[in-house]
Amino acid sequence: MKFFIDTANLAQIKEAQDLGVLDGVTTNPSLMAKEGISGEENVINHYKAICDIVDGDVSAEVIATDFDNIIKEGEALAALNPKIVVKVPMIKDGVKAIKYFSQKGIKTNCTLVFSAGQALLAAKAGATYVSPFIGRLDDISVDGLGLIEEIRHIYDNYGFKTEILAASVRHSAHLLGCAKIGADVMTGPLSVILSLLKHPLTDSGLAQFLADHAKAAGK
């Protein structure tokens, strides 16, 4: 399972990269705004800075919602760095654009996916990744992990190459649920990745080992 970090914060991306377990980055316009990144030049420079840190795919989302402008924006983003994956919303013109990009060999991430039907459409259009938002489904009392399971089943039935990128992952139970189902990728905040480190028996066991070592050494 690939681990992507869902942030535009350079320090957090670097921390995850330094941990040695990072496979890529996803961003979205809200995450860029959270870092105070606005204006075409700043946005472009920020994506370049992310690509310089991470070994792996970097999703950069288009703002346009009509076919011609999605293509224009997506081609400009893709030209920045081979790591860039053009993130396109699940709308009619978005699906058309994903088909266009896939024929041109430009990687895509179909975002804002909330149903198996949408995921099927994204795969048929040739998306590299499909991003079902499991946390946002859970927020409205719909089973997010259940959607990942449905999509896995459908993709396996037909051998679709589109990778399931479980998004809006909020905690380690989401991440582990996705791993059990066989999602190809998960994207979440750094805190979710770091939460995997934690177990109280690890902490108490290490404290005991160190105390015993110090006692034997007469300290």
By the criterion CB under 6 A, which residues form the site for ligand E4P? 6, 26, 28, 111, 131, 133, 135-136, 167-168, 187
Contact present, 61 and 111 (Cβ < 8 Å): yes
Q: How far is the CB of 130 from ligand E4P (least distance, A)?
A: 11
Please name which of 69, 58, 116 lies closest in space to residue 90, comparing C-alpha atoms: 116
Q: How far is the CB of 20 from ligand E4P (least distance, A)?
A: 22
Which of the following is catalytic: 14, 48, 87, 124?
87
Q: Give all strands (DSSP E) within 90-209, no chain letters.
A: 108-113, 129-132, 163-166, 185-188
Contact present, 183 and 166 (Cβ < 8 Å): yes
Q: How far is the CB of 201 from ligand E4P (least distance, A)?
A: 30
Q: How far is the CB of 218 from ligand E4P (least distance, A)?
A: 52
Q: Quick one: DSSP state of residue 63?
A: -
Distances from the Cα of 141 to the Cα of 29, 210, 213, angstroms: 25, 45, 50
Catalytic, 87? Answer: yes
Distance CA 195, CA 189 (A): 10
C-beta of 32 vs 71, nearer to ligand E4P: 32
For CA atoms 182, 185, 112, 16, the dihedral sign is: positive
Q: List, by residue number, the catalytic residues.
A: 87
